Structure 1
């Protein structure tokens, strides 16, 4: 059993645990595969030097990985997308109003307690008002959207070709 990290914990142990957590975040959350039980070790080389980890563009890497996963899924017989779909879900909720859940009133400490960006959609959401497991309403909403509607969501004033 591991002991909690404290003031007297050797730096080597802290670094080892940090690398383990980062490997889990990279291999199982940000860059998952469809096996469900295996994790790629290709990210080990990026977490060798913890001081350098902030020099990489992880957001662009996750976005590229998602694009590649969706592309492969759309062209073949795959039924699972190897991507961090929660990130896509938050992006859709932010950009496409027909898909936004109905958030409850913000908590009293909303302005004083820093919260992750995605938390505003999950805190106090009225679950009975949403259509979580029904694909047809989402498809209907997408079919009803016009190019001008999409442009207005992104702040464009007119279409360009």
Structure 2
């Protein structure tokens, strides 16, 4: 649900819809990258409508944060990396669709989009696709799916790291190194975010406000 996206990933579920046009030619991709980052990927750094995540990582590492323009480019690189991994990742895990670039045109307005709603819609689409008999892989915001399962099915979850971290997904950071001992004998938690399981002071006010009152 939208509440899960807000609590687990810390994404706003209110705001403008994440919509826009998608062009499938290199000239449009190049123009968007030049506008957002001052440089464009070479032919070896993109495939069709997808830009390799290594291009964004390399650009992010090379940027020197000497002024607001470079800081904004750094943040936009980070956002595109989040899109390509946590929020809208594809099965390759190495690329991100460049259709998101136009949404970053107004840097101050990035926060005004309902990224949480888009992320939830994406996972619903993924879950529909995996019901097909010929589907063998899954992509999308798997952090949301996995963390949601660990919260509601605690007998599956590794031991928590820091229980007061927010967003909740951060609580299982480096979970492979923590081990897999079962925490509870409960099969299912009906009220995953009830008082006693999550301290209210851990949840930022803007997220708690959305959760409790449903307002922007």
Match of 2:171 in 1: 120
Q: Does 2:181 match 1:129?
A: yes
Shift of 1:92: 1.2
| CA deviations over 1:21-76 (Å, ceiling 9, x no partner) | 21121133310112344321010011111111111111111111011011112124
Match of 2:89 among 27, 32, 46: 32
Match of 1:153 in 2: 190
Q: Does 2:62 match 1:2?
A: yes
**2 CA distance for matches of 1:96 and 1:69?**
21
Match of 2:69 in 1: 12
Q: Does 2:99 match 1:42?
A: yes
TM-score of the aligned structures, taking structure 1 as reference length: 0.64
Matched length: 129
Kindly name which structure, 1 or 2, has the bigger radius of gyration based on alpha carbons. Answer: 1
Q: Does 2:70 match 1:21?
A: no
Shift of 1:96: 1.9
Alignment gaps of 5+ in structure 2: 1-60, 193-216
TM-score of the aligned structures, taking structure 2 as reference length: 0.49
Query: Given the superposition, is the C-alpha separation of residues 15 and 120 from structure 1 closer, same or farther in structure 2, using an over 3 Å criterion?
Result: closer
Query: Given the superposition, is the C-alpha separation of residues 3 and 66 from structure 1 closer, same or farther in structure 2, using an over 3 Å criterion?
Result: closer
Greater CA drift, 86-95 or 72-81: 72-81
Q: Does 2:138 match 1:86?
A: no
Q: Which has the higher contact order (CA 8 A, sep 6+)?
A: 2
**2 CA distance for matches of 1:2 and 1:126?**
33
Match of 2:152 in 1: 95
Alignment gaps of 5+ in structure 1: 131-144, 156-161
